[in-house]
Copies of this chain bind each other. A is one copy, B any other.
Amino acid sequence: MPRTYARELAFGAPVAPGHGVLRPLGLCDVTIDDGFWAERQRVNGTTSIPHALAWEDKVGWVRNFVAAGAGESNRTGKDFSDSDVYKLLEAMVWESARLGDEALEREITRLAGVVAAAQAPDGYLNTHFGRPGLPARYSDFEWGHELYCYGHLFQAAVARIRCGHEDQLVEVALRAADHVCRVFGVGGTVAVCGHPEIEVGLVELGRATGRTQYIDQARLFIERRGHGLLKAIEWGQDYFQDDLPVRAAAVFRGHAVRAGYLAAGAVDVAVETGDQELLTAVRRQYDRTLARRTYLTGGMGSRHTGEAFGEDFELPPDRAYCETCAAIASVMVAWRLLLATGEEKYADVIERTAYNAIMCSPSLAGDAFFYANPLQLRWPGRQPDSDEPCPRAESGARAPWFTVSCCPPNVARFVASFGTQVATVEADRVRIHQFASGEIRAELASGHQVRLDVRTGYPADGRVEVTVLECDPSQEWSVALRVPGWAEIELDGLTRQGDLAVARGRFRPARRFVMDIDLAPRVIHPDPRIDAIRGCVAVERGPLVLCLESTDLPEGFSAEDLRVDVDETPVAVGDGARIAGWLLGQPEGHSWPYLAQPEPPGLRPEQVRLIPYRRWGNRGPSTMRVWLPRPEAELCVGAESGAANWPGRTADTGDTGDTDAVNVDPELGQPA
């Protein structure tokens, strides 16, 4: 049952629903101090955020605000480049709150001033429109992205409020929000933005300030959508999700990021207005999208054309688009549904998507990013120019920046605020959704304040230890940990209750609870309705999807050349696995690749290393596959005759894999 609770303004989280089953904890409540996420946050803060800021300066997107303030008409970048400045600002705000960084604070203040100088007296703010020599305001709802940019501005301002600063950035956002309500409110311009985002921004700004008119405006935008206000384009009205009212759609379709941001905004509006029908509709759409239109990594977006969803079960691994921003949008939806419904499965989705589809984007060094995140690469492709923004979403190598660079600042804000995904409060229960070493401080519904320590080597190690640091021994309360849907577990001090492991009672400080998750490699089979990966399997370890990268194969072999032996169990090695299979001999090739007889390839037995998918592409040009083919059943002729078929090679059936070598985790610099 949804419950209303007091709204804490400055608890440091991006999403603070007025009611729901779970109440989120923010950066003021959760500290991550070690392990995987601490390291990701360290790299994000020391490298990715400054890197993004340097690029935004270099390509002129910050200067656009200065030019706008000076009334000049020259500017650089796409129509929506303002939004990437706002997203980076939001990242900086979370990062500053996380670390308490004075220098960062000054930088935020400086940038807020630059942004403020570009705002028109009536609150309008956009560096691409509305000045002499530039297109007029609100002259292009399909592609202008003006409302989209406001949405990100609002999210940055909400971050500022929730981190305890009511400053110039907030004033700018409020003036802009008031302007939006005046222009687009009831009786005003009946329009929607081609790219949803203002909806989540408005609702959150309303939640953070108590100004319900912002929530009303968000609802108006949601209700207006789906009636063909936007001009039809070649990719179809569904590209913009303007073909059907939100509550009437069956599944996510069209442009994947747009679809996700819209759904998140619809959940926000539904929660604030008590619209159970709308909430149910979005939830049903999201569930169906997970069931039929989502990649193993949690990535969404099957087509380059329109950066869009495909049809049900259209999930090609090579032409998967899986835009980083679409994965972040998916997590936004899942998080809101988790808070609204308490259904722990949504935290499973967040975990999978975060570890694979999102964290694949940044390089280990934090200074290059994937925009599209395919699950297969046959050719290493073009290497991006490290001095110029990469124009293309596809190349097989991460790029330092893009002409459309929505993904890097999105990753930055996601990583900086990851602490807000870790735990929630449900009456007198603390629920831990994501496993990261650190401290959780929570005030339960009764006012009882508790502190927990979490220690874990996750995702490399499956043991999660939770220790009570502080509580009132006279009060009864609960601690609950998410049990991942794929997991075999052992518990100490906790009891399994569905998808939670729970302990309830009156605890003393030092009380410890342990969940041990089996991280043995798991072989995954695709639903047979997915054509493109028929006959393949994948391997997972814990939350990590694994992949084969050619860097781990003998010289001259491609990831395309492996056939996997599904009768042999994969062996855990480091944070990846070792599997048994065969490498194909290099066939002569046919002049026409459609044959009267199935073709038995020469096969050489091989033990092969699989690594976490999110780490691929950090060791130079390579080919990669997540889904690994089994040999055609009638073609697997066995090791000896397979080797005899091996053109030009010795009939060597020995094991050539690096079975017992110590594997050094390149990220932690320690043996894995």
Task: List residues of chain A with CB under 8 Å of any chain B CB.
Answer: 232-236, 287, 290-292, 294, 296, 303-305, 310-314, 316-319, 345, 376, 378-379, 382, 391-392, 403, 485-486, 522-536, 538, 560, 589-599, 601, 629, 632-633, 635
A291 and B528 contacting across the interface, CB-CB below 8 Å: no
Residue from B232, B591, B598 in contact with A290 in the complex, judged by beta carbons closer than 8 Å: B591
A305 to B523 CA separation, bound complex (whole angstroms):
33
For the complex formed by this chain, how many copies does it contain in all? 2
- Expressed in whole angstroms, the Cα–Cα distance for A526 and B594 within the complex equals 5
Query: What is the minimal beta-carbon distance from A297 to any residue of chain B, in angstroms?
Result: 10
B312:A534 contact, CB within 8 angstroms: no
In the assembled complex, how far is the CB of residue A457 from the closest CB belonging to chain B, in whole angstroms? 24
- Please, which residues of chain B bring their CB within 8 A of the CB of A292? 589, 593
Whether A311 contacts B596 by the Cβ 8 Å rule is: no
Contact A234 B378 (CB under 8 A): no
Knowing A305-B304, A391-B232, A589-B291, the reply to whether A595 touches B535 (Cβ < 8 A) is no
Task: List the B residue with the shortest CB-CB distance to A236.
Answer: B392
Chain B residues positioned under 8 Å from A528 (CB to CB)? 598-599, 601, 629, 632, 635
Nearest neighbor of A523 in chain B, beta-carbon distance: B596
Give the CA-CA distance A141 to B18 in the complex, in Å: 57
Given pairs A313-B378, A526-B594, 13 additional interface contacts (CB within 8 A): A234-B391, A236-B382, A287-B591, A294-B592, A312-B378, A314-B319, A317-B531, A319-B319, A485-B592, A523-B596, A525-B599, A527-B594, A534-B535
In angstroms, Cα B598 to Cα A305, docked, is: 32
Contact A290 B597 (CB under 8 A): no
Which B residues are in CB contact (< 8 Å) with A345? 591
Bound Cα distance from A291 to B311, whole angstroms: 29
Question: Which of A376, A379, A534, A598 has the largest count of B CB atoms less than 10 A from its CB?
Answer: A534
A526 x B593 contact (CB < 8 A): yes
CB of A593 within 8 A of CB of B319, answer: no
A310 partner residues in chain B, CB cutoff 8 A: 318-319
**Contacting residues, chain B, for A312 (C-beta < 8 A):** 378-379
Interface pair B296/A594, CB less than 8 Å apart: yes
Residues in B with CB closer than 8 Å to A317 are: 531
The answer to whether A522 and B599 have CB atoms under 8 Å apart is: no
Sampled A-B contacts (17; CB under 8 Å): A232-B391, A234-B403, A294-B592, A311-B318, A316-B316, A522-B596, A526-B594, A526-B595, A527-B590, A527-B599, A528-B599, A528-B632, A531-B532, A534-B629, A535-B535, A535-B632, A538-B594
CA A368 to CA B527, docked complex, whole Å: 36
Q: How far, in angstroms, from A51 to B635 measured CA to CA in the complex?
A: 52
**Which has the most chain B C-beta neighbours within 10 Å: A317, A318, A403?**
A318
Give Cα A232–Cα B388 distance, bound, in whole angstroms: 13
Chain B: CB-nearest residue to A391 = B234
Chain B residues with CB below 8 A from A313, complex form = 378, 560, 593
Report the separation of the CA atoms of residues A304 and B306 in the bound assembly, to the nearest whole angstrom. Answer: 10
